[in-house]
Structure 1
Amino acid sequence: MDRVVLSYGDSLLRSSDVALLDAPHWLNDNIIGFTFEFLASTLAPSTAERVALLSPDVSQFIKCCGKDAPDFLQPLELPKKDLILLPVNDNAGTQAGGSHWSLLAYFCTVREFLHYDSSPGTNTPHAQLMARNLSSILGGNPHYREEEAPTQHNSYDCGMYVVCVAQALSEQYFRGCTNLNLQNITPQYVTQKRTEWKEIIRGLSSHSKATSAH
């Protein structure tokens, strides 16, 4: 039975989703969406209002339809954000799917998109399309650049690299770091993070059950 393990904000995780945190599994939209939502909730209020960690479904919408439906994205107030983080998938359709994740980051202060791909070059066309569509919403003509990123050493950790890089960027950027450091995101670090995220989910689930029992 694929039971519900956790309901957190807009995220609903089932046992089959959480099982993907065990290697050698590829993370799906649900897990990445939850991690982004959780990371956003851990930011200080003054920081949280300046950053947007977008879910995979919203990011896919921007890639496929964003420039044609700016009203749909208006509530997100993206032009007011200092940092926007978007998971990129190589799926060409509007539905969930695809086989590779990467991360697109928009830095307002320098008006630049940086694309972090743990398998360099794999998602470039998808990230460029997403950046073009988002540019029409943000206004102006931001620069796009492929940024050096930690490299995956297997065929299944791309989603975990997205989560790890997103966490590092959101933490370092708002501490005023001018040179963002991603060197600690090694294969060993990524494996460790799989375990840590399982513990976070387990803790939230236990707390939710304890709260509902009272």
Structure 2
Amino acid sequence: SASTAGEDGNERVLSYGDVVLLRSDLSILRGPHFLNDRIIAFYLAHLSAAFEGDDDGDLLLLPPSIPYLLSNLPDPDSVAAVAEPLRLASRSLVLLPVNDNPDASVAEGGSHWTLLVLDATNGASRPRFVHHDSLGVLNSDAARQLAAVLRPLLPGAANGAPLVEGPTPMQANGHDCGVYVIALARAICNWWRDRRGQQQEGGADWFDTVRKEVDAESVKAMRAELLHLIARLIQDKEDEKKNKSAIQLPSCPSIASTSLRL
């Protein structure tokens, strides 16, 4: 099975939506290692799945490859063409992981992950960008670049779509920035779900929810939580395969239903 086969780091262990996780990704999660874009894309896809029943598609969680591509396209026309299917201007909340890789030709480059949120929860005419950086302002240049690329895609923004820094707990090491990004994304999704349920527990924005739910302890626990989630999804797929195999087996007539002739 995928979960017990050899130790080849490139061995595929799970396909989830458009994301394929490798055995080496499990080693990264066991840590302490810098998260790659596959792991972040996987968890954001998992969070997105909880909102698939929404009719309006107000919430959008993008895999890291899309914001990075948008930041590095050569001209506004290319940006508009790539972004058109995303319908950014019609969303209330868009979560965009930001990487500081300065060279698009280097795969999995960069040394820091942060989260940029396009927040239009107060209306399409008053959007803002909120940047969450677990190392202060280390990624502010990359966040500003991405926000500048996206602003022309928000024609209804009467306020110029300002960029503000959101409250973010500080990481205490050099490898957990990606874990902070997914912990922040989970907190924001929790706030969004409560807001959609009209519970209003999170207040006017998600800042209080982040303060309550994201800290060094919850971030530390997330690596184990992801490993457990991946193991459960692998097992679910294996059980599904077994069930399909059992259904497809030809049925043999039982002795009780067979007439024996002597």
Indicate the TM-score class for this superposition, using the shorter chain for normalisation. Answer: over 0.9
Give the secondary-structure state (helix, strand or coil) at the position aligned to 1:46.
coil
Gaps in structure 2 of 5+ consecutive residues: 1-7, 196-201, 245-262
1:81 is matched with 91
Q: Displacement, 1:187?
A: 1.1
- Cα contact 2:130–2:166 (8 A) shared by 1: yes
The reply to whether residue 134 of structure 1 matches residue 146 of structure 2 is no
Give the secondary-structure state (helix, strand or coil) at the position aligned to 1:155.
coil
1:159 is matched with 178
- Cα contact 1:18–1:31 (8 A) shared by 2: no
Give the secondary-structure state (helix, strand or coil) at the position aligned to 1:175.
helix
- Cα contact 2:132–2:165 (8 A) shared by 1: yes
Q: TM-score, normalised by structure 1?
A: 0.94
Q: TM-score, normalised by structure 2?
A: 0.77
Query: Which amino acid is the alignment partner of residue 171 of structure 2?
Result: Q
- Alignment counterpart, residue 20 of structure 1, candidates 28, 32, 36: 28
- CA offsets 1:90-122 (integer angstroms, 9 cap, x no match): 012334321100000011124110000000110
The reply to whether residue 63 of structure 1 matches residue 91 of structure 2 is no
- CA offsets 1:32-85 (integer angstroms, 9 cap, x no match): 011111110022522771111011110101111273411122111111110000
Alignment of 1:170-189 (within 5 A): 170-176=189-195, 177=202, 178-180=204-206, 181-183=209-211, 184-189=213-218
Alignment CA distance shift 1:49-1:127 (3 Å): same
Alignment of 1:119-130 (within 5 A): 119-130=135-146
1:4 is matched with 12
1:117 is matched with 133
RCO higher in 1 or 2 (8 Å CA, sep ≥ 6)?
A: 1
Larger radius of gyration: 2
After the TM superposition, which of the residue ranges 103-112 and 139-148 deviates more from structure 2? 139-148
After the TM superposition, which of the residue ranges 193-202 and 135-144 deviates more from structure 2? 135-144
Q: What is the CA–CA distance in structure 2 between the aligned matches of 1:42 and 1:212, rounded to whole Å? A: 24
- Alignment counterpart, residue 235 of structure 2, candidates 200, 206, 209: 206
Give the secondary-structure state (helix, strand or coil) at the position aligned to 2:14.
strand
% identical aligned pairs: 31
Query: Which amino acid is the alignment partner of residue 152 of structure 1?
Result: Q
After the TM superposition, which of the residue ranges 58-67 and 129-138 deviates more from structure 2? 58-67
Residue correspondences, number? 214
Q: What is the CA–CA distance in structure 2 between the aligned matches of 1:147 and 1:130, rounded to whole Å? A: 16
Give the secondary-structure state (helix, strand or coil) at the position aligned to 2:82.
helix
Give the secondary-structure state (helix, strand or coil) at the position aligned to 1:120.
coil
The reply to whether residue 104 of structure 1 matches residue 104 of structure 2 is no
Q: What is the CA–CA distance in structure 1 between the aligned matches of 2:176 and 2:118, rounded to whole Å? A: 23
2:248 is matched with none
Q: What is the CA–CA distance in structure 1 between the aligned matches of 2:60 and 2:220, rounded to whole Å? A: 26
Which structure shows the bigger proportion of residues in helix conformation? 1
Give the secondary-structure state (helix, strand or coil) at the position aligned to 1:52.
strand
Q: What is the CA–CA distance in structure 1 between the aligned matches of 2:77 and 2:102, rounded to whole Å? A: 16
Q: What is the CA–CA distance in structure 1 between the aligned matches of 2:81 and 2:191, rounded to whole Å? A: 31
